[in-house]
Structure 1
Amino acid sequence: MIDTVYIIGSFSTPFQKWPDKSGKDLTRDALVGALKDAEFTDAGSIESAYFSNCGMGIIWDQDLVRGHCMFAPMVDEGLFPERVPIVNVEGGCASGSMAVHLAWKDILSGLHDVSIAVGMDKFYHEDMGKVMTAFEHGIDREDRGRLISEYQAVADECGQTFQFGPNRSIFMDTYAMQACWHMWKWGTTQRQIAVGASKNHYNGSLNPNAQYRFEVPVEKVLDDYEVSYPVTRSMCAPIGDGAAAAILCSEKFLKTQPLHVQKRAVKVRASTLSGGKHRPISEPSLTRWAAEKSYKLSGLSPQDINVAEVHDATSFCEIYQAEMMGFCPIGEGGKFIESGATMLDGKIPINTSGGLVSKGHPIGATGISMIYEIITQLRGEAEKRQVKDAQYGLIENGGGVISVEEFACGVTILERS
């Protein structure tokens, strides 16, 4: 069994509307970018591949062999080696972290020395009905009534009304109700959510890969179109297209590479997954479980983390995940964000990329793009959004909705070599 796994190459395309690029084009861009970053002259060293995607089956009518179809032209051209196993990975918005986790396990077990995780999704389509249907597949559609009844119970507890129905996003409605409960229980304010959103739009304005590269002052966040109270449009992740990739390798393989490549490699200190369940809203979520497992595996604590990317499908999620990651006590996430602790020069900078609300959220690519951001920070290559002396970085990536938490979560901790 291998003791240490490294990420030797990583890349993310800009997230945006890509009408002139196919899924195969975006996948190619991510692969070629990661190979270039690792300074591989070819991909011949790669022994396994994991492909993260969520929308191709519903939106683009390509299911079952998604990754195989995306990689086939590159195999024909000699850009990707023949006979390499390609495994399709799907776990809602957590799919990217799952792909990296599986590549990590391949190397950790000693089965392979080099593996790649690639994530891609295209959500811009002329039929937006298909796109919205794709998001609806992130819940248990057979037992939709239970989800609705559980959120109605939460709404009753905090004196709100749970809204759902046609022309609405059940994901935004569920996140909004979680926020309402948190406001009722802990005194969190809509303004504190807006402060987090504004901070991330500022960070996104510094990120050349971000879908939204403009600042949004707090007052404009609050005055924006209400999606589902207390969440406004500026607090929500946009639909986007994009791809990202990460090449992982063993220490044995790393030592065969040039010294300057070795110095840019980033060590994987921990990678953990957790599964969701029906639970009381007062109980800590699956993300806390995954974080605690990662801290134990890495031998680190929340106080050791210098920079983090957390899954802010809405800006309330950043408040909640700051608590679940142990960066602040439960119930104090709103005050923590409002204090400036998560800004670029704060105690623990969170979502330096701009987060999902600014960087964008092409689901299959999201988790790997979060890893790319932390790698960029640990290498000291983030330019205007660089966190000073970052040694340890954490990524939290959740997906799907069951009850008042996600169906799946991945937490990864990385270390500067």
Structure 2
Amino acid sequence: MRDVYIIGAFSTAFGKKPETGFKALTREAYTGLLADAGLETGAGIETGWFSNCGMGSWGQRNIRGQVCFTPLVRDGLFPERVPMVNVEGGCASAMMALSGAFKDVASGEVELSMAMGVEKTFVPGDAERTKEIFEGGIDQMDPDEWRQYYAAAGETANKPFEYGPDRTVFMDTYAMQACYHMAKWGTTQHQIAIAASKNHWHGSLNPKAQYRFEVSPDEVLADRPVSFPLTRSMCAPIGDGAAGVLVCSKDYLDGQPAHIRDRAIRIAGLAMSGGKYRDLDEPGLSSVAAKKAYARAGLSPADIDLVELHDATSFCELYQLEMLGFCEPGTSGRFIEAGETRLGGRLPVNTSGGLVSKGHPVGATGLSMVSELATQLRHEAGDRQVADAKIALAENGGGVVGFDEAACAVAILARADA
């Protein structure tokens, strides 16, 4: 396997963009990606991986990447005859696309590959279409299986499972896990609120975040309840956006000008795992992906300087800190309460604002995490810069199988001098 480097990373601003279509979002992200890599066109790109979840709800159920890139091919910005692979894995789709591009380069098949994620989840006046996009992330062929599973687990978690048209099963299952964690370990709702408040502060420093305002822990707790212990400020919003990454081989990188080589970021390790129906107290799939990624990178949690993780709810931040090996089970609430995950803390987490503040256009989310980490490792993050950042980790999960995500990816990124 060859070393693989990121030479371009870009994310659009995330937000509700009803007037901006999929092709326009694709063009904005792709041209931004070329500019970041110092390229006028993508003439050297040999493969493309396109991530999207919901375009079928807008009428484009197949060949999504090909449709979005046709205008760019016509304009001479994207090369002709390049194979485009369409990827869908729920909220983990974007990192699945990165995994495909990474493997293309690492295997020696190509020298330069692209991963692009594009998503629209905000549909003004049509909540049912938005709901349809997200409902694809859980088994619709045999829904009785998960309803019975959650009903039984609700007794263990001391939070009955409720199902109905005015609820979201995803937030309810996160809430059940949070209640179980609180009962078993003494985690508090206030600690979850601190995680949410911290990410809203980080998001206020990120010009591309969907929400750019601060929220105190008390304000988080006073916000509209979603599913106890979760309030609206603890949950990721719907929105639109796109993000992309260009990855290349060492040979390709060596042929680039010094200012491109100096900004290159090495993908030290990248691994994926799959979900299953598990017990509430059984480690989740992200712990499996993380162990593989650490082993492939030859690193440990102690080597990581900052993290972007998948906080679809703010409880997820507590949970994933434990699954990724940064905290012992049951200690993440106190870790966050002590300020360790804030800018200036021992392990800054979600300097972008995370999903709860930066936003969560599902098919683009994982690549936006990588873009944030590349910015940090290049020391170009401005007011939210992590001092002396050299090694970073991204965790991106998506879909639901019981209390697991259906898929998870963990990537470890490193400066060339790390």
Q: CA deviation at 1:42?
A: 1.3
**Equivalent residue for 1:61?**
59
Q: Provide Cα deviations, 1:68-113, integer angstroms capped at 9, x if missing partner.
A: 1000111111111000000000000000000001000000000000
Per-residue CA deviation, residues 207-263 of structure 1 (Å, 9 max, x unaligned), is: 000000000000000000000111000000000000000000000000010011101
Compute the displacement of 1:37 (Å): 0.3
**Contact between 1:154 and 1:181, CA under 8 Å: does it hold in 2?**
no
Partner of 2:253: 254
Partner deviation per Cα, 1:54-74 (whole Å, 9 max, x = no partner): 01002x111111111000111
Is residue 218 of structure 1 aligned with residue 222 of structure 2?
no
For 1:78, which of 73, 76, 79 is the aligned residue?
76
Q: Give the superposition deviation at 1:143.
A: 2.0
Superposition map of 1:28-107 within 5 A:
28-58=27-57, 60-107=58-105
Verify the 8 A CA contact 2:307 2:392 in the aligned structure 1: yes
Residues 257-336 of structure 1 mapped to structure 2, 5 A cutoff: 257-336=256-335
Task: Give the match's secondary structure for 1:264.
Answer: coil
CA contact (8 A) 1:6 1:249 kept: yes
How far apart, in 1, do the equivalents of 2:317 and 2:146 lie?
22
Name 1:149's counterpart in structure 2: 148
TM-score scaled by length of structure 2:
0.98
The one-letter code matched in structure 2 to 1:245 is: G
The two structures, once aligned, show a CA RMSD in angstroms of: 0.8
Unaligned 5+ residue runs, structure 2?
none
Q: Is the 8 A contact 2:157 2:177 kept in 1?
A: no
Structure 1 residue 168 displacement after superposition: 1.2
Q: Distance between the aligned counterparts of 2:163 and 2:332, measured in 1? A: 27
Cα distance in 1 between the residues matched to 2:192 and 2:59: 37
Partner of 2:142: helix, strand, or coil? helix
Distance 2:148 2:219 in 1: 34
Residues 291-350 of structure 1, C-alpha deviation per residue, up to 9 Å, x if partnerless?
Answer: 000000000000000000000000000000000010010111111111111011111110
Q: Structure 1 CA distance, aligned partners of 2:394 and 2:296?
A: 15
- Structure 1 runs (4+) deviating above 6 angstroms are none
Name the CA distance, whole Å, in 2 between partners of 1:386 and 1:148.
44
Query: Which position in structure 2 is the counterpart of 1:395?
Result: 394
Distance of 1:67 and 1:409 partners within structure 2: 22
- How far off is 1:21 after superposition? 1.4
The Cα of 1:145 is off from its aligned counterpart by 1.7
CA contact (8 A) 1:205 1:212 kept: yes
In structure 2, the residue matched to 1:409 is 408
1:144 is displaced (CA, Å) by 1.6
- Aligned letter for 2:221? L
C-alpha displacement of 1:19: 2.1
> TM-score, normalization: structure 1?
0.98
Say if 2:121 and 2:133, in contact at 8 Å, map to a contact too: no
Amino acid of the residue matched to residue 76 of structure 1? R
Q: Name whichever of 167-176 and 237-246 sits farther off.
A: 167-176
Instruction: Give the match for residue 345 of structure 2.
Output: 346
Corresponding position: 1:198 with 2:197: yes
Describe the superposition over 1:262-306 as per-residue Cα deviations: whole angstroms up to 9, x where unpaired.
010000001111000111111101000000000000000000000
Secondary structure in 1 matching 2:262? helix
Amino acid at match of 1:10: A
Aligned-pair identity in percent equals 56
Tell me if structure 2 keeps the 8 A contact 1:139–1:400. yes
Q: How many residues align?
A: 415
Instruction: Using the TM superposition, name which of 332-341 and 239-248 deviates more.
Output: 332-341
Q: How many Å separate the matches in 2 of 1:297 and 1:235?
A: 33
* SS of equivalent residue, structure 2 residue 147: helix
Q: Which residue of 2 aligns with 1:244?
A: 243
Structure 2: distance between partners of 1:158 and 1:8: 46
- The CA distance in 1 between the partners of 2:230 and 2:201, in whole Å, is 18
Contact 2:157 2:176 in 1 (8 A): no
Q: Unmatched 5+ residue regions in structure 1? A: none
Q: Is the 8 A contact 1:155 1:181 kept in 2?
A: no
Distance 2:288 2:330 in 1: 17
